Amino acid sequence: MILPLFWVVLILLWENVTVRFSPMNLSEETLKKIDDVIPRYPEKRSAALMVIHLIQEELGAVDLEASEWIAEKLELQPINIRELITFYPMLRETAWGETHVRVCRTLPCALRGSYATCKKFEDKLGVKEGHVSDDGKFSIEFMECLADCGEGPVVMVGDQTYEKIEEADAEKMSDLMLKNKLLNSKKYVSYEKAVDSVQSSKS
């Protein structure tokens, strides 16, 4: 059957509009998680932080377009979302680098040398804390407590935690990161990897 020209044009226009307004190219998986999480709250607005986290997990940041999309989904104003993103330090309006280094600057870690640790990462990776390197590969954040205060200076690279990282270690870790070899290093084993290997040796 031949479709009348009017319907063909309408379908093409609809597809175009659908593609243009697709929510920031989020994966089906993230969209499903968002749709699942919202009804778990008594009011839609209470799901705001969870939705922001889910989007940041996939896109690395929640920009203006994303804020507007969330606001519409939760029947809020974009400012309600922006104020959350600007209030919480872990939430981002622009993405960090491909490899994001966090160094704890709170007193217990500071007393053990975390300022020198952070400075060494800055020098070796060629990026100042709070910034992303020009090639987008590295970013550094000098931030408050990473919740491992007895083992400082504490450093996180991505989602992996490294303990007792002094200035000299920061230099060696940077060299490994620049060669993309940190995760396979035998000298620098993250807390998470150590726990995994203990658990798998028991099972």
Residues that bind ligand FES (CB under 6 A): 104, 106, 108-109, 145-149, 152, 154
Q: What tokens does 201 get?
A: 């040796």
Min dist CB 133 to ligand FES, Å, is 24
DSSP of 96-118:
--SEEEEEE-SHHHHHTTHHHHH
Nearer to ligand FES, 97 or 153 (CB): 153
Nearer to ligand FES, 54 or 109 (CB): 109
Nearer to ligand FES, 13 or 195 (CB): 195
Min dist CB 81 to ligand FES, Å, is 29
Min dist CB 109 to ligand FES, Å, is 3
Nearer to ligand FES, 149 or 178 (CB): 149
Q: What tokens does 121 get?
A: 């990462």
Q: Where are the alpha helices (DSSP H) in 44-106?
A: 48-59, 64-73, 78-87
Q: Is 126 exposed, middle or buried (0-12, 13-18, 19+ CB in 10 A)?
A: middle
Min dist CB 98 to ligand FES, Å, is 24
In the three-class reduction of DSSP (H, G, I as helix; E, B as strand; rest coil), residue 23 is classed as: coil
**Side-chain half-sphere exposure of 129, counting CA atoms within 13 A:** 16
List the one residue out of 163, 149, 157 whose CA is nearest residue 195.
163
* Nearby residues of 43 by Cβ (< 8 Å), 6 or more positions away: none
Nearer to ligand FES, 104 or 132 (CB): 104
Nearer to ligand FES, 13 or 90 (CB): 90
Q: Is 114 exposed, middle or buried (0-12, 13-18, 19+ CB in 10 A)?
A: buried
Min dist CB 166 to ligand FES, Å, is 13
Min dist CB 148 to ligand FES, Å, is 5
